[in-house]
Amino acid sequence: MNRYTNADLLLAIGVVMLLVQLVRRLLDVPQRLPRWNRLLSWLWAPAAVTFAITAVLHYKNTHLDDAYLLVAVGAIVATLLRLRHYRPARTLLLGLAPVVLQRFISVCLQLGGYQLLPPLTTLFKIFGSLDAYWFFAMVFLARSQKKALIKQEQLREKEEQERQLIAAQNAELERLVAERTAALTQQAAELNTALDELRTTQGQLIQSEKMASLGELTAGIAHEIQNPLNFVNNFADVSAELVAELEEEQARPTRDAGLEDELLRDLKHNLFKINQHGQRAASIVRGMLEHSRASTGERRLTDLNALADEYLRLAYHGLRAKDKTFNATLQTDFAPVLPLVEAVAPDVGRVLLNLFNNAFYAVQKRQQLGEAGYAPTVRVQTRRVGDDVEVRVRDNGTGIPEAVRTKVFQPFFTTKPSGEGTGLGLSLSHDIITKGHGGTLSVESCEGEFTEFCITLPF
């Protein structure tokens, strides 16, 4: 028996271990298939033992290397099949397929003692020499695929990190929005409560303003109605005396016809005066009833001359009822032919009353300063300006400081001392004229000299 060392088997062990290292590194077998990785690590052991035995026994077998390669490559193929869902594994499997097929056919022919025809043998050898090129081409392709997959995985991880970051930011934003919403809801509730309280207070202040206005109006009406009632009483007393004289004259035996006629004329004149002043008193009472009656908002044709004159005198006598020492000059310049204005008379009357009260208040305060030669004067003028009717109320009182002139129509703003005004009179007047009647209410003033309010209403 010839001495023999199986060099082909050693070469086969080297090829298998290189292939194993290639598969393990390229496909990350230790992480993906730990058990199969341990199996691949020991593929060299059976071949080494076989080599040692054959070397000791000087046993020559030309098929050991091919058999070992088939078994080892089979184990590698099985590993690749386990990783078939991984694209580089499928590529390596495709690269090993021709090698395994060529080796399998070669072993089968050798075991069976068959030989291919010369043309086929040449072709088979050509394909066998190309197997290595094909395999290494597939290795490079698998390597490229792995790099692409790693990049995709990194991209997916980055996208996942970004998604998680966005999700965390969204969660934080939702938390902040929820906190802000809760805070805003609480603030809204507090504001609603404050608004309700403000509306209640405003209603009370408006009612106080109305009651104060009504008190001033009532005082003015009482003073104004006292004059016609005094005339009625006086003329009634005189008429009673005339009737008594007439009865005495008629009871005399000799009657004086001329005296009777004179007494009758005087009596008729007194009755006329009684009727005239009675109508005046009735007119004042009707005006008082209209003012005290809640406004229905119904617009009617209104004579602003008569309305302004009536409320001017009511405001003046209302102030004189409080201060008997107060006197002022009332100047009226009413347009003789003034168009009737479609308006809610009680509301416009309330505006005029407020302006007149302010005017008398201003001249009274200036009078109290004790200026030499000062004569309190309130002037009311009406005229037609284009398609509007204009009412001007001017006084020569204390005037309004320029710093606060723009605030006089603001709710609750007043130049009067605490307790003498609520600051709602001009605000309500402005709303009645501008919002209720589509007109304007403006003011001009010079501190220490005059104040003039101007009302314009369309007709």
pLDDT in tens, 154-188: 999 999 999 999 999 999 999 999 999 999 999 99
User: From CA 288, how far away is CA 355, in angstroms rounded?
Assistant: 18
Domain final residue pick, 98, 133, 166? 166
pLDDT at 1 over 50: no
- Per-residue pLDDT tens over the stretch 35-65: 888 887 787 777 677 766 666 655 555 556 6
**How large is the average pLDDT for residues 222-237?**
76
* Other beta carbons less than 10 A from residue 429's beta carbon: 23
Domain range for 144 is 7-166
CATH of the domain at 448: 3.30.565.10
Q: What are residue 311's phi and psi, to 5 degrees?
A: -75, -25
**317 close to 288: Cβ distance less than 8 angstroms:** no
pLDDT digits (tens, 9 = 90+) for 317-355: 878 877 778 889 999 999 998 999 999 888 898 899 889
Domain assignment present for residue 100? The answer is yes
**Residue ending a domain, choose from 136, 166, 196:** 166
Is 205 part of a structural domain of the chain? no
Give domain status of residue 229, yes or no.
no
Q: By CB neighbour count within 10 A (0-12 exposed, 13-18 middle, 19+ buried), where does 220 fall?
A: buried
Those residues whose C-beta lies under 8 Å from the C-beta of residue 22, and which sit 6 or more positions away, are 139
Q: Is residue 178 part of a domain?
A: no
Domain membership of residue 202 (yes or no) is no
pTM: 0.45
Query: What does the pLDDT look like over 293-307, one tens digit per residue?
Result: 545 567 889 999 999
Residue where one domain finishes, among candidates 166, 182, 204: 166
Least confident span in 13-17, 158-162, 333-337, 360-364 = 13-17
Give the chain's domain count. 2
Same-domain status, 159 and 16: yes
For residue range 232-266, list pLDDT tens digits in order: 888 788 888 888 887 887 778 877 778 778 878 88
The answer as to whether 192 is a domain residue is: no
Please indicate, yes or no, if residue 195 is contained in any of the structural domains.
no
Q: Is residue 247 part of a domain?
A: no
CB 356 within 8 A of CB 319: no
Tell me: do 455 and 306 sit in the same domain: yes
